[in-house]
Amino acid sequence: MNSQHTVRHQVGGVILNRISRFHSIHLQRDVCVDIYYPEGKNRHRKDPGFPFLILNDGQDLERVGLVRTLETLWAGGQLPPLIAIGVYANEERLQEYGTAGRPDYKGRGSKADAYTRFVARELLPWLRGHYHLSWLPKHAAIAGFSLGGLSAMDIAWQQELLFGKVGVFSGSFWWRSAPVDPADPDAHRIMHEVVAGGPKRNGMSFWFQAGTKDEEEDRNNNGIIDAIDDTLDLIRELENLGYQRHQDIRYVEVQDGEHNPETWAGVMPDFLKWAFGDPIDRILP
């Protein structure tokens, strides 16, 4: 693997290194990667190394307001120095995101396994060679939005030795192996089946967000939109494995929140403080 065309920018107190052509063997394409860290902090500092966050859909992080949020939280002492990595999606997004080895019933997500290998075997080793990242899973998070959130959840679940925390903004947990069956409309949801199959990943914690206006669909006619239903049902599957609300799981429901970067920007501070608030390994209520 090799990287080319790294450009350094500074936005306020945040340094951004943009790698425009990061070649992936597993994806067989060049990937754009943005790397954010605080001004004045040595990215090669001594152990235990920086906590870090990998974000899917890195191309949307400007609309999500990541730089502004990092700068505000760092200035207010609400967040320790950390390294955030935004991984850009391209026209293959519907194939690279999803659940590894389990495409949906339309064949989408066929490259999700390759994307997982890219993150675990190419991107993360390269980052460790260039930035001093913590080796502790409790200091490592992965997150995403919509289908990127489903991808983040699946990667964390499959890579428990690499990631101890996962953040899902309006996750596409409707992802299913068969069309909706009116007799059992909540059946065949892939991520729910994966989690229900266990076992529990000890030490892992989860942050979920959904908005009351994420969508309008209500396939089981229970008065709750599917985006919220699917998220709460997944939380119940996690609880069935022994995870506990407020200790291992945080759920944020945004009144009038929509399926867009503006809504996700509003809850990004909550996620970052939950994942990395001082002390780093504390789970905030």
In the chain, the domains with their CATH numbers are: 3-276 (3.40.50.1820)
Nearest CA among 234, 268, 272 for reference residue 60: 268
CA end-to-end span of the chain: 41
> pLDDT tens digits for 105-148?
999 999 999 999 999 999 999 999 999 999 999 999 999 999 99
**Cα–Cα dist 226/224, whole Å:** 6
Nearest CA among 222, 224, 195 for reference residue 211: 224
- Looking at the whole model, is its pTM more than 0.75? yes
> pLDDT tens digits for 214-260?
999 999 999 999 999 999 999 999 999 999 999 999 999 999 999 99
Per-residue pLDDT, averaged over 27-50, amounts to 82
pLDDT of 6: 74
Lowest average pLDDT, out of 71-75, 119-123, 149-153, 281-285, goes to 281-285
What value, to the nearest 5°, has the Cα angle with vertex 221 and ends 191 and 225? 55
Residue 195 has pLDDT above 70, yes or no: yes
pLDDT of 8: 81
**Phi-psi category of 107—alpha, beta or left, where left has phi over 0 and alpha has psi -120 to 50?**
left
